[in-house]
Structure 1
Amino acid sequence: MAEIIARDGTWAFDGSTIRITPGLHRSVPLFRQTYGEISVPLEAVSGVVYAAERRRGRLRMRLREGADPLLQATGGRLPEPADPYRLAVDADRSGVAEYLTEEIRHALLIDGIPQEPTTGYLLPGPPVPVSVRSSDGTVSFDGNQVRIDWSDTSDRVKRATGPRIIGLGDLVQVEWLPNSGYGDGFLRFVTSETVLSKLPPERDPYTLDLWGSVRRDLLTALVATAVTARLPHPSTRADDSGAGRGRSRPAVPAQADLHDVLLRRLRELGELYRDGVLTDEEFARTKAVVLRGFS
């Protein structure tokens, strides 16, 4: 057993699995504490490096492409402190970090772990049900469907349409961008009907607009990962260009289907306008946005 205990967490390797446990120090991001312990099978690992620095070194694990739904969902956009595959190591623990690194590298060599992308997820992702309250509303996933309940500060059109429920079978993919504090982020649920939609996050009824607390909005990555883990693996979705394995593109709906979606959206807006939910100005502005989104 090779193990290193640091302020931000613990990494332990037993020869077949690296167990990553977040630390309890107040500096550990809420996302890491909430995501909890991660057990990484050796076959999911591409490599591990330790970079010694003057005061604190950096331990980093690289996973094979397609092995982890968390990395697939977040696309490498997790802030470094929230990345579970990075660990800051105090200088006096550098010897232990180097030993752990060599043990994992040796096991990878002995077991002949390939570097190629995986054909399925080797990590399970977060358990369900999972629910997160964000700046734009509360998003929940029970393993079968996504539900979005809008907040009082959500766009009026979003609130007027009521909770958004999306079946897992209707989803094509999940898109996630964190709220950086300098620019808004979003959590978008892409269906076959909305794959070409260009609606901005603040008006898209399939998207949470992340503009509030960076610390709390980051938790939406939990839902993004849980959903991604239960969608078809990227390797099963053909890429028409034949390049970039694992970087699939959603199927584009037929023109007739897009026309039906547009008519349905306009009909919903018309009903909200007739019921007095939308003012003349709001109806005209939202209608223009919808039409532009399908142009």
Structure 2
Amino acid sequence: MDELRGKAASWHFDDENVVIQYNSRWRTHALLKVLARCEIPVPAIAAVDFTSAGKKGWQLQLRLRERADPYAAVGALLAQKGQPFLLSGGPDTELLAEYHADQLRLAVDAAQRSDTLRPAEEFALGLVPPVPLHIQTSEGTAMFDGETIRLEWSDDASSRKTKKRRVAYALKDIERVDWVPEGPSTEGYLRVVTWEADADAKSAKPSKDLACLLTEDSAKQDAWTLVMAATVTAHLWAKTDRPAERAQLTATPDTGPQIVYDRIRELGRLHKEGLLTDEEFASKKAELLDRL
């Protein structure tokens, strides 16, 4: 397995995966320390970006397919040093880094041409910790078991929260999970947003919001709440990994020959993109052909 070492991590390459081992040095971003290791299948990658900055070194970044990267979905406010799929290094290793970027692009192109490309949502689950996941902040704890996220507050939380003590939200009721890191003028927090939450609830002050878990003056707490937000997001995606068009195609179609042919072509496209299994494609295609 080939290796490329950078400032914050070492990347290992084979024909199927990019395995990232993050450094544990004190200068390494807290999120990377929390993740420790990450394995990215080549078919999860949409693009490979390589940038040379001359004497300042180089940067190699993986951009994953839509709905494959839960960290990017919830961590848009991350500083560059906290990007988990970005590696930078000095000018002495630039040629090696560029070589690996070129080889990886070839592997990604081959995967994208494959007829068995898996849905992006499946990769997202492999990039987050296994459940149950339990985290702790200065205000309390959050636990997610794959179906329900539970927030519980310590005695240091606001009186509204300590009076309630704990709440639980089923995955089916969650629209999204927001994450905001602590800043000079902002509280850091994890917020569960449900489908039924009104505008006032979505904008409530985090210290009073029963759907929020605060962080306080801790990069590690910010990192763990981001990981929790990404984990819940990945499971949300996995629950909705079949688009509305799939449901439409499995409904009873019109019977005109041209419409049937159009639907068969559309089924073929969804099958190629990995949105229909071989069995689903064959069954529905046979049903449509019977209508001719």
Give the alignment's TM-score, normalised by structure 1. Answer: 0.72
Unaligned stretches of 5+ residues in structure 2: 245-292
Tell me the residue number matched to 2:143.
140
Give secondary structure in 1 for the equivalent of 2:160.
Answer: helix
Q: CA deviation at 1:118?
A: 5.3
**1:4-63 deviation per Cα after TM superposition (whole angstroms, max 9, x unaligned):** 022411111101211111113221123212212111111111111222221332221111
Aligned match of 1:210 in 209, 215, 225?
215
Number of aligned residues = 237
Give the alignment's TM-score, normalised by structure 2. Answer: 0.72
Is 2:41 the partner of 1:60?
A: no
Whole-angstrom CA distance in 1 between matches of 2:155 and 2:217: 13
Aligned match of 1:191 in 189, 194, 199?
194
Corresponding letter in the other structure for 2:236: L
Is 2:78 the partner of 1:73?
A: no
> Pairwise mapping of residues 283-294 of structure 1 onto structure 2 (< 5 A)?
none
Q: CA deviation at 1:235?
A: 6.1
Whole-angstrom CA distance in 2 between matches of 1:47 and 1:155: 45
8-17 or 24-33: which moved more? 24-33
Whole-angstrom CA distance in 2 between matches of 1:78 and 1:223: 15
1:43, 1:113 within 8 Å by CA — same for their partners in 2?
A: no
Unaligned stretches of 5+ residues in structure 1: 239-295
Is 2:106 the partner of 1:83?
A: no
**1:56-110 deviation per Cα after TM superposition (whole angstroms, max 9, x unaligned):** 3222111111112222233x22222221111121221111111110110122233
Is 2:157 the partner of 1:163?
A: no
More helix by share: 2
Distance 1:102 1:133, change over 3 A: same
Runs of at least 4 residues off by over 4 Å: 116-119, 233-238
Whole-angstrom CA distance in 2 between matches of 1:189 and 1:176: 9
**1:172-209 deviation per Cα after TM superposition (whole angstroms, max 9, x unaligned):** 22111222344223211122332532322111101123
Give secondary structure in 1 for the equivalent of 2:50.
Answer: strand
Is 2:49 the partner of 1:49?
A: yes
152-161 or 162-171: which moved more? 162-171
Distance 1:117 1:15, change over 3 A: closer
Whole-angstrom CA distance in 2 between matches of 1:195 and 1:87: 41
**1:130-168 deviation per Cα after TM superposition (whole angstroms, max 9, x unaligned):** 222223322121223222121333211111111122232
> Pairwise mapping of residues 200-279 of structure 1 onto structure 2 (< 5 A)?
200-233=205-238, 236=242
Corresponding letter in the other structure for 2:186: G
Distance 1:13 1:138, change over 3 A: same
